[in-house]
Amino acid sequence: MAEPHNPTPGLFESFAEAISTLEKLTKMETKITAALEDSRVPWKESRKLLKCMSPDQMSNTTLFQFMQNLFFEAGIGRLEISDVGRFQLTFIIKECGVCSLYHTKEKGKVCFIISDAILKFFVKDLDLPCSVEESRCSKEGFEFCEFKTDLQPLGVYKIALDDIDRALIGDILGGRFATAGFAKDYEMDEAEVTYRLKVLESYQIVDSDNNVTEIGSTYYKFAQGLRALEEDFEPPWKGLATITSSIAAKNSFAEAMCETINPEPFIKVDSSEIVNLAEEAKKSKSFAELIAKHVKSMG
Ligand SMILES: [Zn+2]
């Protein structure tokens, strides 16, 4: 858990209030723990989230709606996404269930339990190593509580691309890629192929002329190993009636994205975030080993 910038306020005005609040927090924590235990999400669903370019797109994914539902049911409040970066997601809660347990007038951050829940959901259920910090809290006088979630870049690369993306990279490397032919081979619209290329460009796997970059060829080298790591199982929301997703009704995520009237600008990877990837990769036997090293170095 990240260190708060402001000191924790004097939380309680009386002993009775302290007891009652702690009791409610304990109940909330028990609910969260139980919910997270049964919520492992297959990579194919996390991948849809990671390919989103805006809070609107991301809010529309079944996975986010599931997460929102899970947090709401635990009494935390209604989670929203306010900002999406390639490796950073910002969540906000306007009427925070944790803050409402504290009646103190003193200012400070109190929502550690939420940072911790987001962290556990990403690390344990999505298989996405990250760190989470509560950057703003209603108890500091803001209109909402805000949580910055920094995703570990290699963890994102591990999950973000699928078999078709890998085939696309392979075709480019083999000098046999053409949009029309690829679309035909994989029974998709050319617009979807173009969208996939844009996503690959946003990850700096191909450049703007659709040539594979050094990061791209490193990634490709480990592609088969990654495929072996991927488990296919039912997502935890199967049968959950409250999830309504426009994206779920489409044949593919890319198809849904292509229909966006005003396409969002693509988020680009900042190369400084992955600067040592190619070098480190040369020293590692597998992507799993590479990831393990980096996750360790994050502390
Ligand atoms: Zn808060």
Domain match, 80 and 139 both: yes
Instruction: For residue 96, tell me if it sits in a domain.
Output: yes
264 Cα–ligand 1 center, Å: 30
End residue of a domain, out of 131, 152, 173: 152
Per the model's pLDDT, the better-predicted residue between 222 and 279 turns out to be 222
- Asked if residues 122 and 34 have their Cβ atoms less than 8 Å apart, the reply is no
144 Cα–ligand 1 center, Å: 7
Domain match, 21 and 61 both: yes
End residue of a domain, out of 152, 184, 213: 152
100 Cα–ligand 1 center, Å: 8
> Residue 133 maps to which CATH number?
3.30.1380
The pTM score is: 0.81
Domain match, 182 and 78 both: no
116 Cα–ligand 1 center, Å: 12
Tokens of 17: 């209030």
149 Cα–ligand 1 center, Å: 15
118 Cα–ligand 1 center, Å: 13
On the 0-12 / 13-18 / 19+ scale of CB atoms within 10 A, 51 is: buried
Domain match, 31 and 134 both: yes
Domain match, 110 and 40 both: yes
Between the alpha carbon of residue 211 and those of residues 69, 170, 179, 203, the distances in Å are: 41, 11, 13, 13
pLDDT of residue 282: 66
pLDDT of residue 22: 86
261 Cα–ligand 1 center, Å: 35
Per the model's pLDDT, the better-predicted residue between 285 and 243 turns out to be 285
Adjacency order of strands within the sheet including 79-84: 79-84, 88-93, 145-151, 130-136
Instruction: For residue 29, tell me if it sits in a domain.
Output: yes
Range of the structural domain that residue 95 is part of: 15-152
pLDDT at 272 over 80: no
pLDDT of residue 9: 53
The string of pLDDT tens digits covering residues 138-156 is 999 999 999 999 998 888 8
Domain match, 125 and 73 both: yes
Per the model's pLDDT, the better-predicted residue between 11 and 264 turns out to be 11
73 Cα–ligand 1 center, Å: 17
179 Cα–ligand 1 center, Å: 48
Amino acid sitting at position 40: R
pLDDT band at residue 298 using 50, 70 and 90 as cut-offs: very low
Instruction: For residue 112, tell me if it sits in a domain.
Output: yes
Domain match, 184 and 291 both: yes
Instruction: For residue 248, tell me if it sits in a domain.
Output: no
136 Cα–ligand 1 center, Å: 7
| Residues in contact with 49: Cβ distance below 8 Å, sequence separation at least 6, in sequence order | 58, 61, 63, 64, 126
End residue of a domain, out of 127, 152, 177: 152
pLDDT band at residue 265 using 50, 70 and 90 as cut-offs: low
DSSP state, 206?
A: B
Collect residues with CB below 5 Å from ion ligand 1. Answer: 96, 99, 111, 137-138, 145
Instruction: For residue 34, tell me if it sits in a domain.
Output: yes
Domain match, 136 and 165 both: no
Domain count across the chain = 2
pLDDT at 246 over 50: no
The string of pLDDT tens digits covering residues 78-91 is 999 999 988 899 99
Domain match, 47 and 114 both: yes
Instruction: For residue 246, tell me if it sits in a domain.
Output: no
99 Cα–ligand 1 center, Å: 5
Between the alpha carbon of residue 261 and those of residues 55, 66, 192, 264, the distances in Å are: 15, 25, 15, 9
pLDDT band at residue 293 using 50, 70 and 90 as cut-offs: low
The string of pLDDT tens digits covering residues 160-203 is 888 899 999 999 999 999 999 999 999 999 988 998 898 888 88
Domain match, 192 and 108 both: no
Domain match, 67 and 116 both: yes
Percent of the chain with pLDDT over 90: 41
